[in-house]
Amino acid sequence: MNNITEPGSKVLAGLNVSYKRGLDHNYLIITYNGETPDDYQINMLFENDIPGFLKLNVKNSNGGYDFNYEISSLQPVGRLFENKTISYDKMLGILKGLIRCFKTAHEYLLDENNIILDPGLIYMNVETHELYLLLYPYYDGDYNRSFLNLSEYILERADHSDSRCVMMSYNLFRVIKTGVFTISDIEKLLQDVPLNEPAPETVSETIPERDPEPEIDFSPKNLQPPVVRKKKSLFGNLLSKNRAQFNIKKSNSVPLFDDDVVKSVKPDLNNKKSVFGYESSDIHFGKFEEEISSEYNDQYNDDNEEYGKTTLLTADNTSVHSSSHRLIYKEKGNDKVIDLCNLPLTVGKVKDCVDVVIKDPSVSRVHASLYTENGKIMLKDLGSTNGTSLNGLILEEEKPIELEEGDVISFGKVTATYM
């Protein structure tokens, strides 16, 4: 198996990852070649549908073990925001989802250091916007460093034309960079946050320019890394005490919990609320707003820079630019053109999640992607239900293939010609 990377992913390059499409399900597979996996966390993920975590199944494979994580109808955050900025509401939704997932992990006595907070491995349901995290028991992570990297990603991808996004993303980064934060600290940032308040047009309209002294550079590269401290749980020492109560030792074989023990740590599963379905009001940043310098405003308000530029092609709108390469397909009898001058781009039928919208029932929400690699245009299926084919050959999920002029591509039942 080859290592496969996702947009925004640093961790995937270090794991033996592959993808598999079944009749009704899609899986991300991490191959493990160590000793027989028998771990409390594996048993919990296998025996329970833990809210906010990818369902796990472990199988023997050529002398090793495949950790099969179900990713049906899910897309990685890194892919969804590869060409887009993170809006204020979506940023709040992601943070609320992370808080809920880590609280669930605590209730199930899962180790937060084994949760991979890489944008390429944080999954989202594109319809409900619910988050799903991947817990890999043999991932030797550090939640401090993982949260710091994620906060940098959010800070960079935030919609810098919205002052609320700037304030929220920087406050998150400022809290996490201390290296001694807890989930409660992140939760405090979200107390009484307005979801329905209209966004101001620009940052400068809400945050007036200040005197240039002292100037503060808030970019991640100029901020100090977190203080290295002894690891402890995001919830203090309670987690280790609970594990001791059940005699859980990560490195030793642990039998499956009986029903009574599982019930004792299992949270309420009846709350199916969407990650974006919360109600809240106002957030207070205190004196922090007064610390924003004109240099920071200028950095993210360059009139010549565009964020989140996308090209949406629908049955009523065809966008054509001068380009040497394009895809041509028919929609309701009319020729439609997908211009390939601004790669990478994603193809699907959900407007808010892809760059090119094809309105056809056979096309998945997020169906395929096109991008450049070493000067070549590549096509990759993204776990679509009805598949992507090239000249009649069905592509393997997540396995890219080079396009050549005259190739015929099928997104489900929609056929396009590469010109």
Residues 235-290 have pLDDT tens digits of 554 444 444 444 444 433 333 233 443 333 444 434 433 333 333 333 333 344 44
The pLDDT, as a whole number, for residue 194 is 54
- Considering only CA atoms, give the Rg of the chain: 23
- The whole-angstrom separation of Cα 379 and Cα 364 is 16
Sign of CA dihedral 321, 366, 359, 312: negative
What's the average pLDDT block by block, 10 residues per block, for the chain (419 residues)? Answer: 47 78 86 83 92 94 89 91 91 95 94 94 92 94 92 94 93 92 91 54 44 47 47 51 45 36 39 36 39 41 37 38 74 88 89 88 92 92 91 90 94 93
The pLDDT, as a whole number, for residue 403 is 95
The pLDDT, as a whole number, for residue 91 is 94
- The whole-angstrom separation of Cα 102 and Cα 319 is 43
The pLDDT, as a whole number, for residue 10 is 57
pTM of the model: 0.61
Tokens of 352: 């808010």
Residues forming beta bridges with residue 61, ordered by sequence position? 64
The pLDDT, as a whole number, for residue 255 is 33
123-181: per-residue pLDDT in tens?
Answer: 999 888 899 999 999 998 888 999 999 999 999 999 999 999 999 999 999 999 998 89
What separation in angstroms does the CA of 138 have from each of 13, 49, 161, 251? 15, 20, 40, 10
Please name the residues in contact with 79: beta carbons below 8 A apart, sequence gap of 6 or more. Answer: 6, 7, 8, 120, 346, 366, 369, 382
The pLDDT, as a whole number, for residue 39 is 81
3-state DSSP of the chain: CCCCCCCCCCCHHHCCEEEEECCCCEEEEEEECCCCCCCHHHHHHHHCCCCCECCEEEEEECCEEEEEEECCCEEEHHHHCCCCCECHHHHHHHHHHHHHHHHHHHHCCCCHHHEECCCCCCEEECCCCCEEEEECCCCCCCHHHHHHHHHHHHHHHECCCCHHHHHHHHHHHHHHCCCCCCHHHHHHHCCCCCCCCCCCCCHHHHCCCCCCCCCCCCCHHHCCCCCCCCCCECCECHHHHHHHHCCCCCCCCCCCCCHHHHHHHCCCCCCCCCCCCCCCCCCCCHHHHHHCCHHHHHHCCCCCCCCCCCCCCECCECCCCCCCCEEEEEECCEEEEEECCCCCEEEECCCCCCCEECCCCCCCCEEEEEEEECCEEEEEECCCCCCEEECCEECCECCCEECCCCCEEEECCEEEEEC
